[in-house]
């Protein structure tokens, strides 16, 4: 089973302004805070899954973050950045409930899993963890949504997710399993 992990606001929080809590490392102009339980989460997941990282950030940033957070002995099948994402326009809904591309529409970088299918991975046995549902709109059946991390030292999402994910590792098709209420299922 392949488990793809997002970076920003999923595994880490990077900000140009210092937070009240100490940062873990610096990448370029960003102070980076790792999500609580990150090390244990990655080690645990590596025991049950083939791991990969896919972020919509720039490739050099992604590589440097991964070098700083990856525990010794944990390997990744691939590390992808924005150049593997597909830019899409997220339209906004107007006063009348219609999609309107003229008001506050913005680009999002979608992670279309058909790109990993071309590399031999099966969508039936692929999970992706991200904090932004719009990025996974084309593969919502593979998605596990996590609350965005903004540097809170009391955050518990990875500890909870670490308990839930092993319940999925032996499924023949993860796409048909309801994952929206995952926090109540571990």
What structural domains does the chain harbor?
2-184 (3.40.50.1000)
Predicted confidence at residue 94, as pLDDT, reads 53
Question: What Rg value do the Cα atoms of the chain yield, rounded?
Answer: 17
**CB 139 within 8 Å of CB 123:** yes
pLDDT value of residue 106: 62
- At residue 173, the pLDDT reads 98
Q: What is the pLDDT of residue 92?
A: 56
157-167: per-residue pLDDT in tens? 999 999 999 99
| pLDDT on residue 100 | 54
Residue 9, phi-psi category: left (phi > 0), alpha (psi -120 to 50), beta (remainder): left
pLDDT at residue 97 in the model: 58
Residues of the chain with pLDDT under 70: 90-106, 186
pLDDT tens for residues 16-39?
999 999 999 999 999 999 999 999
Q: Which residues contact 120 (CB under 8 A, 6 or more apart)?
A: none
pLDDT of 134 reads: 84
**What is the per-residue burial (b if ≥16 Cβ within 10 Å, else e) of 58-91?**
eeebbebbbeebbeeeeebeebbbeebbeebeee
Round to whole Å and give the CA distance between 141 and 99: 24
Q: What is the pTM of this model?
A: 0.91
What torsion do the CA atoms of 151, 166, 65, 128 make, to the nearest 10 degrees? -90
Per-residue pLDDT, 10: 98
């Amino acid at each position: 089973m392949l488990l793809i992990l997002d970076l920003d606001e999923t595994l880490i929080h990077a900000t140009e302004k210092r937070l009240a809590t100490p940062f873990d490392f610096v990448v370029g102009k960003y102070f980076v805070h790792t999500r609580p339980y990150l090390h244990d989460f990655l080690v645990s997941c590596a025991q049950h899954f083939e791991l990969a990282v896919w972020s919509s950030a720039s490739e050099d940033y992604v590589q440097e973050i991964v070098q700083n957070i990856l525990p010794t002995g944990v390997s990744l099948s691939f590390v992808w950045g924005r150049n593997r994402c597909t830019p899409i326009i997220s339209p906004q809904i107007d006063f009348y409930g219609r999609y309107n591309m003229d008001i506050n529409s913005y680009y999002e970088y979608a992670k279309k899993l058909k790109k990993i299918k071309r590399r031999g991975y099966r969508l039936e046995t692929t999970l992706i963890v991200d904090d932004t549902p719009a990025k996974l709109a084309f593969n919502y059946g593979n998605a596990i949504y996590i609350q965005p991390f903004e540097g809170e030292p009391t955050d518990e999402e990875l500890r909870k997710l670490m308990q839930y994910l092993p319940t999925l590792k032996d499924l023949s098709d993860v796409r048909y399993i309801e994952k929206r209420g995952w926090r109540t299922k571990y």
